[in-house]
Amino acid sequence: MTVATLPLDAEAFDRSGKVLLAMSVVLIALNLRPVFSSLSVVLPEVMASTGLSPTAASALTTLPVICLGVFAMVAPWLGRRFGTERTLLVCLLMILVGTLLRGTGSVPLLFAATAIAGTGIAISNVLLSALVKRDFAEQAALMMGLYTMAVCAGAAGGAGLTVPLEHALGGDWSGALAVWAAPAAVVTLVWAPQALPRRPIPSESAKAVRGLWRDPLAWQVTGFMGLQSALAYAVMSWLAPILRERGLDAETAGYVVSVAVMTQLVTCLAVPLVAVNCRNQVGIAVGASVLTLIALMSCMFAPTGGVWLWAVLLGIAQGGSFSLALTFIVLRSRDAHVAAQLSGMAQGVGYLIAACGPLLVGLLRGWTGNFDASAFLFGAIGIALLGCAMGAGRNRFVAAVTTAR
């Protein structure tokens, strides 16, 4: 009897451990976007109280996206060197500390804190995709759906709750930004007992991936990731100021952005599940790209009475694009080693491309005095995104091989 129950106990333990790991992935993902969306909705107040110019504000909103690009490239090496779990723990601590330091109200610390949190987010983005490929290969579609859904939920929370928090704190925008350290502290406490006992896996550090950077499909996946992210971060950073300039009050503008991001939850979960069962993903990628551009232009120029409808459609489109971009990393990789490297490439180069979105919107606003010129920028990005969608959506693997070092 005792011998018979041991495998069952071990199986139950493994199953519960996997459930805990899946829950932890979702909790970590919840903390990967409030740093971006919480700042955008109080950006006019930050500029008014600190004297930030439009150019400096552009730099501040773009800084974490640049961090996503620069530090994503070193994430696979860090994961091999120190272990995926322990590296993620350090990243969570960086997100926690960076978010907390934004509560000082100091402009230099605001930039430094944003960079610290952005670095932790960048590395986490890459390692979570590789972890899903490694530990949830048979449930990849479901896990990528839950992962992207959690990312969008965190962004929606930052957009929708920061202004009410600011009002509750007597108009203290810095305190409202610092409050977002609380969920980061919770998930750090949950993750630490899982991460600290883990060591780097020797088989991971002994493998190398060759040929990825010369592969056209890898560049198409990277382009799709970067260009859809350029539009997404432009929305997170500047849609609220755009709507406020069109006459909406601060709280309403924040809620509109929150609705746009919250709506992404539906497509973030549904699109990966649908995509893996399609012969290819070209149609989904192209459709999401076209709808993003139409809805974004409508938010800018259509009568404000219909802004809620356009926000919902924008969320549907951008949620589908984002989840599809991350799903491409898994679908186009033969194994976890290739997935880690493709994730680093797609998110590293992709987020450097994405950083141009919010930066150029802010610069155009400063040069022209309004946001109308950004429509030409969004149109150019949308056309390039369509080209990448048609390439990345093809059902094939990147031409990269995993070899022994």
The string of pLDDT tens digits covering residues 325-374 is: 988 988 898 887 788 788 888 988 998 898 888 889 988 988 888 889 99
- Residues of the chain falling short of pLDDT 50: 1-10, 13
Find the helix packing angle between 34-41 and 250-262, rounded to 10°.
Answer: 150
Distance CA 50, CA 60 (A): 13
Domain span including residue 346:
22-404
**The pLDDT of residue 205:** 55
**Is residue 161 situated within a structural domain?**
yes
CATH number at residue 376: 1.20.1250.20
Q: Is residue 91 part of a domain?
A: yes
* pLDDT attached to residue 13: 44
Asked if the structure places residue 217 within a domain, the reply is yes
pLDDT given at position 273: 83
Tell me, yes or no, whether 2 lies in a domain.
no
**Is residue 103, in this structure, part of any structural domain at all?**
yes
The number of domains in the chain is 1
pLDDT at residue number 359:
84
Six token digits for residue 239: 């849609």
pLDDT reported for residue 2? 38
What pLDDT is stored for residue 4 in this prediction? 42
Domain assignment present for 10: no
In a domain, 377, yes or no: yes
pLDDT in tens, 123-175: 998 888 778 878 887 787 788 778 878 888 888 888 788 989 998 998 899 99
Distance, in Å, from the CA atom of 178 to the CA atom of 257, rounded to the nearest integer, reads 20
Q: Is residue 314 part of a domain?
A: yes
**Residue closest to 113 by CA, chosen among 92, 126, 94, 91:** 94
